[in-house]
Amino acid sequence: MSEQENNASKAEVEQLTEKVEEVILDAEGKPLSKKALKKLEKEREKEQKKQERLAREAAERAAREANEVDYAVDNYGVAKLNMSQQKSSTKWTEVKDLGESLVGQTVHIQARLHTSRAVGAKMCFLVLRESTSTAQAVVSVDKDSISKQMVKFIASLPSESIVSIVATVTKPAEPIKSCTVGDAELQISKLFVTSEVKTMLPFSLEDASRSEADVEKDPSLNRVNLDTRLNNRVIDLRTTTNNAIFKIQAAVSQLFREFLEKQSFTEIHTPKIIGTASEGGSNVFKVTYFKQDAFLAQSPQLYKQACIAADFGRVYEIAPVFRAEDSNTHRHLTEYIGLDLECAFREHYHEVMYMIGDMFVYIFKNLEERWAHELEIVRKQYPSEKIKFDEKPLRLEYKDAVALLRKAGEEIGDFDDFSTPQEKLLGRLVKQEYDTDFYMLDKFPLAVRPFYTMPDPENPQYSNSYDFFLRGEEIMSGAQRVHDADFLRQRIESFGIDTESLKDYIKAFEYGCPPHAGGGVGLERVVMFYLGVGNIRRTSLFPRDPKRLEP
């Protein structure tokens, strides 16, 4: 950045804007109406006059108050709009990389002004924030390069402005507990505003970053409720907590892939617009596809199996899935990210089930090791304990779970599906008995699973299917699939589904298909239960539910 060329010349911007408009009208060949042009012009003039007035007033005020020459004019101000005017060889430092090892060095940093606090007229403390990291900075008047005007300018900047600074790294007298960088402080020598905040924030980042416990302790503090957050999601996402949550979300996908790629899985991309509402037909969104109707895929189930029939062997997909369910709960979204996998096996579906178990263990272990910084940040706002799990995850059979529930006083039939409260109770019982937050439940009743589930060979009231549970809630559902076309047709008919609507699916198996099993994980659910943040909307960037389509 050129520090000589800041304090954007209004005339320059105006000239440029005019040139731009001319070009567009010429090039598009369809100029705006004279009326529209005039209106535009007027609005622009108005805005420009306002800007000029504000700048003039600010300058006058500064001069009046200072009543002296500002020897620091070249060291601060609002930078010109960055249109990539120039390149320099400046080395930029990230806030997260600050630390004792840089003491004595001059650094260039671009970051958010998180908060500022003036101490008299000569000094101001700032907290700078970049993603999940914060650091303290100080600017104080000296007689050569930092004027009172400069300190005043900096102290009056609104929070969330983006600033570019030049500073010297010093070692603080005591570790700075309020920042993630505790062992370094910045002595600012130059500061320019890269991007201004132009309207009042809907809530402060400090308020948005408090834990529920803190708010409950001190009723004078503002609680930012979930709807306000989601309506202003771009601001809400800026908290270090939210930046960390979405780094952890990305980490879960990354670890899912890392594990599966080591196991020779191939990533696939299956279509989301489908011609027939498969898998039963309810809960699908309808799409107008040119002159016909189409639907949004509820899962990649049929297509990932088709890839097995096409000899892909082991496949996975990370993609949105769409559910037109009118469920307004803490754990339902109408659009979420499915982590799906499907795997041919040689002998027994347990080859696949145990591999999925190992995969989760890999994810959990690596999260705690490689994303410790992010986990620590999230746990400050949403306290949760590390999950407990065994290196070889616990496997229970459905009938054992029924027995556990009955022992605890629940009334439940041998082949009944569990209710959500029963699942949670089961989680607690398993934790008491086996000291684990993570386990696999195998051999579900056939009647509660989809038509493509392979029955158990010993007792066909059960099936070769499994769910995985984390903190008492289901995070993955899977099974061995029926890979024989004739048997599949029978199973589909027994569900009362028209085999015609699934003809492409069935056809895939008529040309031979290896035995296979797989499963699907809801990414937002895994992150939600792992972090214990209580609502799935907190782990979706821009959540969609029956009542929310925006932002």
Site for a second copy in 316-345 (CB under 8 A): 318-320, 322, 324, 326, 334-335, 337
The residues that bridge with 343 in the sheet, in sequence order, are 314, 517
Are the C-beta atoms of residues 474 and 423 closer than 8 Å to each other? Answer: yes
Q: Does 166 bind a second copy (CB under 8 A)?
A: no
Please report how close the Cβ of residue 90 comes to a second copy at its closest, in angstroms.
7
Q: Which two tokens stand for residue 79?
A: 């930078």
- 483 catalytic? Reply is no
DSSP 203: S
Which residue bears the tokens 């995969």? 359
Can you point out the beta strands (E) in 144-265? 162-170, 185-195
- CB atoms < 10 A from the CB of 235, how many? 19
DSSP 76: E
Which among 129-137, 184-192, 425-433, 470-478 is the span making contact with a second copy, rule CB under 8 A?
129-137
Q: Does 73 bind a second copy (CB under 8 A)?
A: no
- For the purposes of burial, counting CB atoms within 10 Å of the CB of 15, is it exposed (0-12), middle (13-18) or buried (19 or more)? exposed
Spell out, one character per residue from 396 to 435, where the chain touches a second copy: x when CB under 8 A holds, - when not: -------------------x--------------------
Please report how close the Cβ of residue 542 comes to a second copy at its closest, in angstroms.
5
Cis peptide before 551 (omega within 30 of 0): yes
- Identify which of residues 176 and 287 has a Cβ nearer to a second copy in the complex: 287
The residues that bridge with 474 in the sheet, in sequence order, are 469
Instruction: List b or e across 109-118, with b for residues whose CB sees 16 or more CB atoms inside 10 angstroms.
Output: bbbbbbbbeb
- 550 catalytic? Reply is no
Which among 14-22, 60-68, 364-372, 385-393 is the span making contact with a second copy, rule CB under 8 A?
14-22
Q: Does 212 bind a second copy (CB under 8 A)?
A: no
Q: Give the binding-site size for a second copy (rule: CB under 8 A).
A: 143
Q: How far apart are CA 510 and CA 410, in angstroms?
A: 45
Q: Does 152 bind a second copy (CB under 8 A)?
A: no
Spell out, one character per residue from 236 to 265, where the chain touches a second copy: x when CB under 8 A holds, - when not: -xx---xx--xx-xx--xx--x---x----
Please report how close the Cβ of residue 408 comes to a second copy at its closest, in angstroms.
24
- 477 catalytic? Reply is yes
Can you point out the beta strands (E) in 350-427? 394-397
Q: Does 219 bind a second copy (CB under 8 A)?
A: no
Terminal alpha carbon distance of the chain: 34
Q: Which two tokens stand for residue 214?
A: 């803190």
- 474 catalytic? Reply is yes
Of 323, 471, 483, 516, the catalytic one is 323
Spell out, one character per residue from 484 to 523, where the chain touches a second copy: x when CB under 8 A holds, - when not: xxxx--xx-xxxx-------x--xx-xxxxxx-------x
- 370 catalytic? Reply is no
